[in-house]
Amino acid sequence: MSYDPPRPILVSSSAASDVVKRQVGALFNGVGAAQGREIQRVAVEESRLGIPVLLAADVIHGMRTVFPIPLGEAASFEPALAERTARATAVEATAAGLHWTFAPAVDIARDQRWGRGAEGAGEDTVLGCAFAEARVRGFQGPDLRAADSLLATPKHFAAYGAVAAGMDYNYVEISEGTLQDVHLPPFKAAFDAGALTVMTAFNDINGVPASANHALLTGLLRGHWDFPGLVVSDYTADMELIAHGYAEDERDATRRAFTAGMDMSMQSGFYAAHLPGLVESGEVPMALLDASVRRVLSLKAAIGLLDDPYRSLDPSREDDISRLEAHETLARDAGRRSIVLLKNESDVLPLRRDARIALVGPFARDRDNIEGCWTLFGDKSRYISLEEGFRAALPHAGSLEIVDGCGLESPLEGGIEAAVAAARRAEVVVLALGEPQRYSGEAQSRTRIVLPAAQQVLAEAVSATGTPVVVLLRNGRALALEGAVRDARAIVVTWFLGSQTGHAVADVVFGDYSPSGRLPVSFPHDSGQQPFFYNHPRTGRPETPEMSEFKARWREHPNTALYPFGHGLGYGRIEYGATTVDMAKLPVSDVLTVRATLRNHGTRAVEEVVQLYVHDRVASRVRPVRELKGFRKLMLQPGESQEVVFRLAPAQLAFTRADGTHGSEPGGFDVWIAPSAMAGVPARFELLPR
Ligand code: GLC
């Protein structure tokens, strides 16, 4: 199989002169080992001090081989899978001459109107921590000095996912407890996994921009967490201090950002322009500059650049396509493991290969919305569309009829009629619907998280024929499903799965793989419920099955999820036995053992994501109705029973208490081993006082 060479974004000759004239220390989004070598040669041989430059890019979920968007991969509930895809990405990215990627995004996204949830691991902190550390380990590998080690950058520090109303770049008003307990832990997990850089966020935190937030960048990061690495701005975040109304002018912005703890300015040019004068005037102490320079040089030393400036810059490695075959196989496996089956009435899935199938919708043939957001270097020649995946899976092409039906966002002349006719000829319709990939990612906040109207019209028309409908969703966020889409026989969430989309989806649709993904974000009844997240605090008027009048709910809907966090079906029948605990009273010095027995009553082996939840019944601050504390994906053979055991330590019950300290509090707890955030019957235990 021939591959297109990576399309290097030529590093302009001005970049080379910048390295010399303006002492640029790092360049980003230029790729190509040969270009990188030339830039490095200029840096080493022609610049004043001969210090090698760092070459970086946004390689978020794949380089030439594109893997599922991070939110989709989080649905696998398999951090080890994310580590493997990050490792493969690092192999390809370093072969293309990169030392550093601006990933993983570890923002916790509780408002699906925000478009950048697609880049993270969803709404839960425990899941977010697991994927943050896995991706850092995957990108960096075991040896930072290895040619295929890629520096990771957990971003965006901090609380970027908490932007008000889910509007990107908006202000952030947040309690200290929510900041500490929800949004910060994934960064700490990334640092504990070895991340040596961090990127600041565009947003403020309670009025102080994150990029000039001394309490965050120095107090917490250096003082409390003892982070030894480098802080880089997101793009022009230092320049934006002026627009925030937090800095008078460029010089003031430079002083505020640098003295707060930002070591490297990515894009504004302010540091080159204003730092020398600020140091000469004494407004920036030389000691602060020395400390920052030391961190930049230490980072370059840590990855071996000072010993070998041409590390990773080997054009011969760049064209070795043997790796890419292996990465395609991984991409297909990652794709199918990320797929979530929300609904499967009458076991309409998996489909028979000899069934007459109408594949209908704007994503049926689409190859332009395969990647998802933040894919800059994917090799499009290797992408597999739904059509290609389905045709490869079906022995008789005649059993498959493909009709677009409508455009991504607009009707097609005669599209509905053609789709209805095809539906009438078919035994089953597979409706390939979703968001265009430009609907998620940066600066893509939406007021209504629904399908484009033209697609909903198509769905209604096709469903009216009475032919059973299976909906395939392509999406970068949770969606509010409506009408015929919500009422379809089966609903499959396929996110953006990357290079191997068509094969991964076909593997699930035709039963070669039993879907094992679970929702990392709640699917609401309606957009108006946002921000909606499963682990919301209790209220004084919780709705109960008996009583919904004058309770915390909407006129139109209960304030619950249509499909909750953690939900997903497979092609088995898994029964959960009762959750039990080994002690009713848990001393703080002990560990609770929680058990449940699962049984597969189905006829095929399936993977199940078993989830451990707790609820702190009474505390000094109102606590979430449920919190994920552990998860495990396991295989159950037909008829097999398996006892699942979780260990729960009192430290896992800690939170930021009303007095601002962090720790657990004695009292009663509910605990579940369950298949989602809304399922199961809890056991109870009491945490004893110290
Ligand atoms: C963008 C994004 C950030 C990215 C950076 C460099 O604005 O916020 O995630 O890494 O700029 O492209």
Q: CATH number, domain at 282?
A: 3.20.20.300
Decide which of 318, 346, 379 is a domain's last residue. 318
Tell whether ligand 1 has an atom less than 6 A from the beta carbon of residue 234. Answer: yes
235 and 273 fall within a common domain: yes
Q: Which of 146, 132, 140, 226 is nearest to 183 (CA)?
A: 132
Instruction: State both tokens at 564.
Output: 């909750």
510 and 588 fall within a common domain: no
Is residue 86 in a domain?
yes
Task: Provide the residue type at 639 as one letter.
Answer: G
* Contact (Cβ atoms closer than 8 angstroms) between residue 448 and residue 468: no
Q: What is the mean predicted confidence (pLDDT) over 59-83?
A: 98
What Cα–Cα distance (Å) separates residue 582 from each residue in 262, 506, 590?
A: 49, 44, 11
313 and 343 fall within a common domain: no
Q: How many domains does the chain have?
A: 3
Is residue 256 in a domain?
yes
Q: Which of 218, 155, 225 is nearest to 186 (CA)?
A: 155
* Contact (Cβ atoms closer than 8 angstroms) between residue 516 and residue 76: yes
CA dihedral 297, 302, 308, 313 (to 10 degrees): -100
218 and 288 fall within a common domain: yes
Is residue 21 in a domain?
no
Which of the listed residues 9, 98, 102 should we mutate to test ligand 1's pocket, taking the one with most ligand atoms within 8 A of CB?
Answer: 102
Is residue 103 in a domain?
yes
Q: How many Cβ atoms from other residues are within 10 Å of residue 483's Cβ? A: 13
Q: What is the mean predicted confidence (pLDDT) over 98-114?
A: 98
Is residue 266 in a domain?
yes
- Of 18, 124, 234, 670, the catalytic one is 234
**What is the tens place of the pLDDT at every residue in 242-300?**
999 999 999 999 999 999 999 999 999 999 999 999 999 999 999 999 999 999 999 99
Range of the domain at 660: 572-687
DSSP string covering 595-645, please? EEEEEE-SSS-EEEEEEEEEEESS-SS--BS-EEEEEEEEEE-TT-EEEEE
232 and 354 fall within a common domain: no
Confidence (pLDDT) at 19 = 76
Is residue 545 in a domain?
no
Is residue 252 in a domain?
yes
Global pTM? 0.97
163 and 272 fall within a common domain: yes
Report the atom number in ligand 1 closest to the C-alpha of 266.
Answer: 6
Is residue 196 in a domain?
yes
Tell whether ligand 1 has an atom less than 6 A from the beta carbon of residue 442. Answer: yes
Vertex 186 angle, CA 182 and 189, to 5°: 135
380 and 423 fall within a common domain: yes
The one-character DSSP state at 569 is B
Decide which of 529, 554, 588 is a domain's last residue. 529
Q: CATH number, domain at 417?
A: 3.40.50.1700
Tell whether ligand 1 has an atom less than 6 A from the beta carbon of residue 116. Answer: no
Name the closest-CA residue to atom 2, ligand 1.
234
Tell whether ligand 1 has an atom less than 6 A from the beta carbon of residue 181. Answer: no
Report the atom number in ligand 1 closest to the C-alpha of 155.
Answer: 9
- 112 CA distance to ligand 1 centroid (A)? 20
403 and 296 fall within a common domain: no
309 and 349 fall within a common domain: no
Residue 461, CB-side half-sphere exposure with 13 Å CA sphere: 20
403 and 515 fall within a common domain: yes
592 and 625 fall within a common domain: yes
Tell whether ligand 1 has an atom less than 6 A from the beta carbon of residue 383. Answer: no
Residue with tokens 């408002």: 111
- 235 CA distance to ligand 1 centroid (A)? 6
Read off the pLDDT band of 545 (50, 70, 90): confident
Q: Please say if 234 is a catalytic residue.
A: yes
Confidence (pLDDT) at 8 = 39
Q: CATH number, domain at 576?
A: 2.60.40.10
507 and 643 fall within a common domain: no
Read off the pLDDT band of 319 (50, 70, 90): confident
Q: Answer whether residue 9 shows pLDDT above 50.
A: no
Confidence (pLDDT) at 1 = 30
Confidence (pLDDT) at 147 = 96
**What is the tens place of the pLDDT at every residue in 363-413?**
999 999 999 999 999 999 999 999 999 999 998 877 899 999 999 999 999
